Structure formats: C-alpha cells, structure tokens
C-alpha cells in the first residue's frame, strides 16, 4: 500500500493509529522534519568530545552571535539538535533541570546515559499518547563522565544509539560518507574539529561558508564544556 493511500484512509491523523503495515506515520513525518534541519556533527575523540553545527543564518541582518545551536546541559555535557529548534529547547531545559537536580541530590555530576534515557523516555511517551505529537527533533548529546567520552544520538521515536561519530540534518548523506572514510578512533579533538569543519563545508557547498555560521563546542577530559569563538574556528577552516 502506497503512503498516499495510507493518508487518504486517515492513518496519519492520530499518533496512536498504526497503518496496516505496522507504521506510525506521524513519527515518520517527524523523522522527515529532522532531515530538513541544520547539519550537526558529533565526534568522540581520545581526549574528549565535540559538536560542530551549521547555524544556518537565514537573514543577513541577524546577529550571528545571537544564534545558539549548541547548549550546555551541565559542566560536562553539551547538546545540539536538528529539526524543530523550539522542540529541542524544551528537551534541553528538561535535561538541564535533571542534571541540576541530580547534582543537588547526590553531590556528583550526572552520567551522560542518564540524561539520554530521560529525554528518550519522554520522546517515546509522545508516540503512544492521544492528543500529543512526536517531538520533531533529533538530538546529539555529548559529554565526558566517569567512563570516558560519550556521544549519543536520539531520534523522534525515543530510540538512542551511542556513536563514535555521527551526523544529523540536511547534510547527513554527504557528511556520513566523509566520516566513514576519514574518522579514526584515536583522533584528538583538534583533528576532530578539522575533520568536522571540512565535512560541514562540503555539505553546504555552493553557499557562503564562513566561521560566523559555525557553532562549535568541546568537552575535554578533566575540564568543563566550552564553546569555540569565531576566531578559534577560523584556525580550523584551512
């Protein structure tokens, strides 16, 4: 049965309704929204983790520094999203509250997987409850905890996977090919930044590519998360 036939029969009108071939069409629509989002790359390195993303400046009158595409969840955890940014903001604020509450209760930083599972539990709940819609965003959550650097990707269904390197958003196909060919397990954060920016530049080929449209952040082992300035990013443009 073709997708258009599914729609005509109303199987995409409610999140809780399965199509005859076992699909939740509203969830699939949410996944398509992610593929239209800004390109974001995450990478786990031997000395930490990093995230690089395209700010996608849509108006030359917008102040580039005012566009925030990478958020700090805790001292040791950063995150970004592709899809509906307002959905991402709600999930990130929830994660920040959980991280703060954990630190206040246990006097220690929360582990990255705990944050990921909490976000994915809420995403999954929104795929089975009437009157709701799925979160139209995939998140990359990166951090360094007691067991070392960690990088996770979550999708609108509530599924999550741990990755060494991963990309989400509109440039997924191009960047994924580069990561498969050039990523190395023992790469440093500096090497990772060069590779991510090189891949991002290729993904948005044909458009104006400058340091101002890149948002990047790193978490090094034994250190807190920090964002890279435009001047620092320029050094990796090559």
Question: 93-148 pLDDT, tens per residue?
Answer: 999 999 999 999 999 999 999 999 999 999 999 999 888 899 999 999 999 999 99
pLDDT at 9 over 70: no
d(CA 27, CA 11): 12
- According to DSSP, the residues that pair with 74 across neighbouring strands are 77
pLDDT number for residue 5: 63
State mean pLDDT over 232-236: 91
Element (H or E) spanning 34, and its range? helix 25-35
Banded model confidence at residue 8, pLDDT cuts 50, 70, 90: low
C-alpha to C-alpha distance for 218 and 236, rounded to whole angstroms: 14
Per residue in 162-188, pLDDT tens? Answer: 999 999 999 999 999 999 999 999 999
The pLDDT assigned to 140 comes to 98
Q: What would the mean pLDDT of 72-101 be, rounded to a whole number? A: 97
* Average pLDDT value for the chain: 92
In the chain, where are the structural domains located?
1-32, 45-234
What percent of the chain is modeled with pLDDT above 70? 95
Q: Which long-range contacts (CB under 8 A, 24 or more apart) does 176-180 make?
A: 178/202, 179/41, 179/43
Please tell me the predicted confidence (pLDDT) of residue 206: 54
pLDDT band at 23 (very low <50, low <70, confident <90, very high): confident
Q: Which is more confidently placed, 66 or 233? A: 233
- What CATH superfamily classification does 45-234 receive? Aminohydrolase, N-terminal nucleophile (Ntn) domain (3.60.20.10)
């Amino acid at each position: 049965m073709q997708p258009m036939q599914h729609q005509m029969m109303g199987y995409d009108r409610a999140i809780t309704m399965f199509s005859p071939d076992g699909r939740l069409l509203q969830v699939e629509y949410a996944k398509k929204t992610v593929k239209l989002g800004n390109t974001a790359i995450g990478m786990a390195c031997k000395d930490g983790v990093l995230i690089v993303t395209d700010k996608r400046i849509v108006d030359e009158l917008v102040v580039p520094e005012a566009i925030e595409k990478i958020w700090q969840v805790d001292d040791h955890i950063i995150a970004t999203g592709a899809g509906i940014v307002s959905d991402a903001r709600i999930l990130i604020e929830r994660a920040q509250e959980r991280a703060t509450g954990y630190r206040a209760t246990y006097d220690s930083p929360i582990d990255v997987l705990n944050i990921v599972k909490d976000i994915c539990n809420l995403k999954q709940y929104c795929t089975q409850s009437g009157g709701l819609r799925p979160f139209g965003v995939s998140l990359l959550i990166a951090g360094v905890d007691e067991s070392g650097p960690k990088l996770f990707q979550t999708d609108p269904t509530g599924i999550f996977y741990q990755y060494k390197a991963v990309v989400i958003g509109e440039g997924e196909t191009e960047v994924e090919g580069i990561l498969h060919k050039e990523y190395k397990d023992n790469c440093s954060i500096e090497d990772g930044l060069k590779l991510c920016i090189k891949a991002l530049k290729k993904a948005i080929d044909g458009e104006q590519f400058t340091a101002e449209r890149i948002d990047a952040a790193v978490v090094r082992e034994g250190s807190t998360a920090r964002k890279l300035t435009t001047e620092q990013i320029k050094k990796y443009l090559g």
